[in-house]
Amino acid sequence: MTELIKLIHNTVNQLFDFNFQDSQIQFQQTRKEFEGDITLVVFPLVKVAKKSPEETGKVIGEGVVKSIEEIESFNVIKGFLNLKFTDTFWKKKFSIQIQNPNWGIENPNSSNRTILVEYSSPNTNKPLHLGHLRNNFLGYSVAEILKANGHDVKKVQVINDRGIHICKSMVAWQLFGNGETPENTGLKGDKLIGNYYVKFDKEYKNEIANLIEEGLTEDEAKKQAPLMQNAQQMLVKWEQGDGETVDLWKKMNSWVYSGFDVTYKTMGVDFDKLYYESETFLLGKNIVQKGLDENFFFKKEDGSIWIDLKNDGLDEKLLLRSDGTAVYMTQDIGTAVLRKQDFPAMDQLIYTVGNEQDYHFKVLFKILEKLGYDFAQNCFHLSYGMVDLPSGKMKSREGTVVDADDLMEDMFSTAQATSEELGKLEDASEEEKQTLYKNVGLAALKYFILKVDPKKRMLFNPEESVDFNGNTGPFIQYTYARIQALKRRKGNYDLKGFEGFYLELEERELIKKIEQFPDIVKEAGAGYSPAIIANYIYDLVKIYNQFYQSIQIFGTEKEDLRIALSHKCGEVIKSGMKLLGIDVPERM
């Protein structure tokens, strides 16, 4: 395609005896309502041509049809020249496609670039929730898409396993837990600890209300509430290495990690390396101290350490509290530096974090830059919008979050109910059915989330996501299963002599769409957007279903060609869905 565009460019230059710049020769996909395969935007050329847009388009169209054998016809719609390629061109394209089982996927590590993608990065005071699902699905998919672009990708996370929020759960368990464990309650460890985080908030609010009744202001009550003072004291003890506090912290965190592992397995995501805030915050504190010594930072009267970024269009930012304890920024500085030490060849570091942290990452990258770390310019915040449910916004501390495990289980149940209603699995064993319900439910959830541009806030509708019609994961899975049924009926094909066949419109459109896949993978990688892959696959599936419903496949002289087209379409669907972290079943 690149070579063909170059030929068209050269022809236009010759027609007008003028050396147009690349930026003046603009191509785009032909709109669906017009005939053509590629469209030249004529408007930038009319000044040199000294003709109307329609006349300019006609002159160029006649010129390229005459001089370029791959173009058979043209039409002009106002200032747009639509060019139609020959059957021979598209059949050659299909011959190339069919010979490459990894069509659109670059060879591993062929780019010589190493990219770290951070995602998930939970707190160990609560289970994963709906927001974490978007984070994990997005981060994992972006990592897979970057791999498909030939990059060496490392999937990492930092587990926020220390800080005042962790101490809140610890204090609540000490005061109200009565020795509860995951074993004696039957709860996953992350859910058990999350309950105590909610308990802390409830009791803390009661204390504040009582102190206000006694005559304190709200701010005074928040500071003097015994529970909060207890949590702050525990944080100081932890950072000082108090044995009893550290032992409690290790025990409760171990419960949470076991719970997380179960959730990640269900999600179908993984990591190459884990970082822990408890191990990186000390490096961050040392870097902050060094920055203070070199006058990058300053100390306030209460002993807290800050950086002044007002000249950079930002604000003052706290780096160490007055009691010497670290904040999120402290550990993020330490973690970033440690990652560069662990992966010296790192070319880019991508943080998958919600857009409520946009300012945080602007500050982080600016601090790293001011401290002289060259990799700061290659740090990128993959900012995404929040996920809402019809019931409204979630709040962890109030216990109104949508638990990730519960939501996935609900999706599996919804997939089961939908499948049973449609009667699609009557001949399957019970084990096969349960596996498929999970496969379909997870596909519905992942696809519904990933088809939305990451930057956009989204509303998740569980029932809509499992619809077997429309732009959904199950609809795409069903089309793939339909193709596998064709393969079971006839697994092999012989394309000998197919060059002599005339391509029907539906066949051409399918080849054209498959031809776009490598560019789609590149576009999705450049934009860090799985939505580009998701919506491409949906468009491909729609074109295939039109092909399937309009054209007889078996019992014609073009049977082998149409089986081959189906096979190739199935391969691309499977590759594309794999980049989204979605499996496609052989039967449905």
Backbone angles phi, psi at 32, to 5 degrees: -60, -30
Between the CA of residue 355 and those of 330, 350, 386, 452, 463, what are the distances in Å? 20, 14, 8, 15, 27
Antiparallel, parallel or unpaired: β 26-28 and 316-320: unpaired
Query: 3-state SS of 436-475?
Result: HHHHHHHHHHHHHHHCCCCCCCEECCHHHHCCCCCCCHHH
231 within a domain of the structure (yes/no):
yes
For residue 244, give the CATH number of its domain: 3.40.50.620
Confirm whether 395 is domain-assigned: no
User: Is residue 131 domain-shared with residue 25, that is, in the same domain?
Assistant: no
Give the rounded percent of residues in the chain with a pLDDT score beyond 70. 98
Nearest-angstrom CA–CA distance, 157 and 351:
9
Whole-prediction pTM value? 0.91
- Same domain for 346 and 431, yes or no, is no
Residue with tokens 């396993």: 161
Domain termination residue (choose one: 70, 85, 100): 85
- Read off the pLDDT band of 465 (50, 70, 90): confident
Sheet with 273-276: list strands edge to edge: 273-276, 152-159, 114-118, 346-354, 379-384
Split into its structural domains, the chain has a count of 3
- Predicted pLDDT of residue 136: 98
526, two tokens? 């450049």
Query: Which residues have CB under 8 Å from 201's CB, separation 6+?
Result: 168, 397, 398
Lowest mean pLDDT among 312-316, 459-463, 500-504: 459-463
Residue 532 binned pLDDT confidence (cut-offs 50, 70, 90): very high
What is the CB neighbour count within 10 angstroms for residue 175? 15
Which band of pLDDT confidence, cut at 50, 70 and 90, is reported for residue 394? very low
Query: What's the rounded mean pLDDT across residues 400-429?
Result: 82
Q: What is the DSSP string of 483-500?
A: HHHHHHH------TTGGG
Structural domain includes residue 106: no
Map residue 347 onto helix, strand or coil. Answer: strand
Q: Tell me, what's the pLDDT at 5?
A: 78
The two beta strands, 346-354 and 114-118, are parallel
pLDDT tens profile 206-234: 999 999 999 999 999 999 999 999 999 99
192 and 144, same structural domain?
A: yes
Do 59 and 185 belong together in one domain?
Answer: no
Round to whole Å and give the CA distance between 76 and 57.
6
pLDDT at 400: 53
Mean pLDDT, range 30-53, rounded to an integer: 90
Same domain, yes or no: 254 and 359: yes
Segments forming the whole domain that contains residue 149: 119-388
Of 331, 357, 388, which closes a domain?
388
User: Which two tokens mark 77?
Assistant: 């719609």
Can you state the angle between helices 226-239 and 164-176, rounded to 10 degrees? Answer: 120
pLDDT of residue 398: 46
Kindly state whether residue 396 falls inside one of the protein's structural domains.
no
Q: What is the CATH number of the domain that holds 71?
A: 3.30.1360.70
Q: CA–CA separation, 353 vs 455, rounded Å?
A: 11
pLDDT at residue 1, as a whole number: 65
Amino acid 22: pLDDT: 76
Cα separation, 326 vs 426, in Å, equals 58
Q: Is 511 a domain residue? A: yes
Q: Do the domain assignments include residue 345?
A: yes
In a 13 Å sphere around the CA of 55, the CA atoms on its Cβ side amount to: 7
What per-residue confidence (pLDDT) applies to 497? 79
In a shared domain, residues 540 and 458: yes
Report the amino acid identity of residue 489.
R
Judging by DSSP bridges, how do beta strands 152-159 and 273-276 pair with one another? parallel
- Rounded to 5°, the CA angle 471-476-477 comes to 140
Q: Based on the fold, state whether residues 380 and 415 are members of the same structural domain.
A: no
pLDDT higher than 70, residue 359: yes
**402 within domain boundaries:** no
Spatial neighbors of 358 by CB under 8 A, at least 6 apart, are 381, 383
Among 85, 108, 143, which residue terminates a domain?
85
Say whether both 151 and 183 belong to one domain: yes
Torsion region of 78: left, alpha or beta (phi above 0 gives left; psi -120 to 50 gives alpha):
left
Strands (E), 261-407: 273-276, 298-299, 305-308, 316-320, 346-354, 379-384, 387-388
Same domain? 565 vs 442: yes
113 occurs within a structural domain: no
CATH number at residue 506: 1.10.730.10
Which residues make beta-bridge pairs with 354?
A: 384
Q: Is residue 371 domain-shared with residue 419, that is, in the same domain? A: no
183 and 42 in a single domain? The answer is no
Residue-wise pLDDT for 184-206, tens only, equals 999 999 999 999 999 999 999 99
Residue by residue, DSSP assigns 67-85 as H-TTEEEEEEETTEEEEEE
What are the start-end ranges of the H helices in 490-580?
Answer: 505-527, 530-550, 559-579
**Same domain, residue pair 126 and 59:** no
